Amino acid sequence: MAERALPTTVPGAASEHPIAHEHAHPPYLRHHFETVAQQHEASSMGMWLFLLTEFMFFGGMFMAYLVYRSWYYPAFVAGSHQLSIVRGTLNTIILLTSSLTMGFAIHAARARNQRALVRNLVTTLLLGVVFIGIKATEWRTEWVDHHVPGLNFSIDDFVHPAAGVQALPLDVAEHVQVYFSLYFAMTGMHLLHMIIGLGLLSFLVFKARAGAYTQGYSASVEYIGLYWHFVDIVWTFLFPLLYLVSRHA
Amino acid sequence: MSEPTKNYEHEVVSQREGAVPRDLLIYAVLVVCTLVSVASSYLSLGVANGIIVLLIASVQALLTLWFFMEVRSSSRVLQLSIFAGIFTLGVLFVMSLTDYLSRAWGSW
């Protein structure tokens, strides 16, 4: 084997790329991109690939839900009817509204309007906090009613229900635990994503107040906006699947 | 349709035009869809109940993707990547459900 020649320049040294810094570019353009548009396109692709893995992650849980729902449908109807339709609908509208204000924040950043950017980011953040608050009251109700599998689940509500409600056979009542296991797993994972989203929004507010994102490049607001909308889409499916199971029955 | 080589500033300006009224309209449609979905679950429609609420949720997701997440103004390669990911998810759902629902799994 021929002996390899030793390099004559030190990698990364200025002499290696003598023309690298001869052209002027905005501070937000990274060295390895030629144009801002190219940088934006590449980072958008990265964010979307991440979101697609998230779609797959939640897809597995939705798949499990659909299979168990098809097997134990009467138990899923009984479990679903324990949830508050008012609080579920209210939370859905709150999350949709937060998606709207997140969109407004992106428009404000593009228009280089710092005040509107901060205002819309804070509104989105507050709506997220309200969503989590309402969700917490729902979880508390499930705890008080003994609907938490593995911790305090009781089949009494289903085997000996209140007057006017049809009692479930013992085996069907036991299967209601499957519904609530999936309910807590899916809403819990959604809640975790909401909390991460609130952390990201707080970071954006902090940076936006210091003048970031309104200097001509608002990509970070766009990407966290994409994440927030994704969390909204997950809830768009969770709500009908968990709350709206044959409400007429 | 924007391309990667297009000027970023120009792209940003074109995305801002008419964006707020459009977003308000989409938001109104999403809220109405939610209320229709809730109302439909109180009608006795048998198997169609579940199908209707899932179809409405799919419309809401598509509107959010297309307008709020700005897939409509993304580059072709990005649109194709997103479509490929969601299509693959659909294939996984259809094939898994075909297997589970066409056999005696869960009949014990």
Q: For testing the chain A interface, which of B34, B36, B40, B93 should be mutated: the one with the most A CBs within 10 Å?
A: B34
H/E run at residue A222: helix A219-243
What's the rounded Cα separation, in Å, for the pair A149 and A177? Answer: 6
| B34 closest CB neighbour out of A36, A67, A93 | A93
pLDDT digits (tens, 9 = 90+) for B10-38: 666 666 678 899 999 999 999 999 999 99
Exposed, middle or buried, A249 (CB in 10 Å: 0-12/13-18/19+)?
middle
What is residue A160's predicted lDDT score, i.e. its pLDDT?
A: 87
What is residue A4's predicted lDDT score, i.e. its pLDDT?
A: 52
pLDDT-derived band at A27, boundaries 50, 70, 90: confident
B42 backbone dihedrals φ, ψ, rounded to 5°: -90, -5
Cα A76-A78-A84 angle, rounded to 5 deg: 100
Q: What is the mean pLDDT of residues B64-79?
A: 95
Report whether pLDDT(A195) > 90. yes
The DSSP symbol for A14 reads G
In a 3-state reduction of DSSP, which class is residue A241?
helix
Report whether pLDDT(A14) > 50. no
What's the rounded Cα separation, in Å, for the pair B39 and B48? Answer: 13
What's the rounded Cα separation, in Å, for the pair A187 and A243? Answer: 12
Of chain B residues 68-87, which have a CB less than 8 A from chain A? 68-70, 74-75, 77-78, 81-82, 85-86
Q: What percent of chain A has pLDDT over 70?
A: 91
In a 3-state reduction of DSSP, which class is residue B64?
helix
Give start and end residues of each alpha helix (H) in chain B: 8-16, 19-40, 48-63, 76-101
Chain B contact for A154 (CB, 8 A cutoff): no
**C-beta of residue B31 within 8 angstroms of C-beta of residue A125:** no
Report whether pLDDT(B88) > 90. yes
Q: What is the mean pLDDT of residues A166-188?
A: 93
CA-based R_g, chain A, Å: 25
What's the rounded Cα separation, in Å, for the pair A2 and A126? Answer: 67
pLDDT-derived band at A21, boundaries 50, 70, 90: low
What's the rounded Cα separation, in Å, for the pair A137 and A86? Answer: 12
What is residue B64's predicted lDDT score, i.e. its pLDDT?
A: 97
In a 3-state reduction of DSSP, which class is residue B75?
coil
Chain A contact for B41 (CB, 8 A cutoff): yes
Q: What is the mean pLDDT of residues A37-41?
A: 87
pLDDT-derived band at A236, boundaries 50, 70, 90: very high
What is residue A206's predicted lDDT score, i.e. its pLDDT?
A: 97
Closest CA to A203 of A227, A235, A171: A227
Q: What is the mean pLDDT of residues B34-55?
A: 93
pLDDT digits (tens, 9 = 90+) for A70-111: 989 999 999 999 999 999 999 999 999 999 999 999 999 999
H/E run at residue A143: helix A114-144
| A44 closest CB neighbour out of B43, B65, B78 | B78
Q: Smallest CA–CA separation between A13 and chain B, in Å?
A: 30
pLDDT-derived band at A146, boundaries 50, 70, 90: very high
How confident is the prediction for chain A on average, in pLDDT?
89
What's the rounded Cα separation, in Å, for the pair A93 and A208? Answer: 27
Closest CA to A168 of A69, A76, A78, A72: A78
Cα B47-B52-B55 angle, rounded to 5 deg: 130
How confident is the prediction for chain B on average, in pLDDT?
87
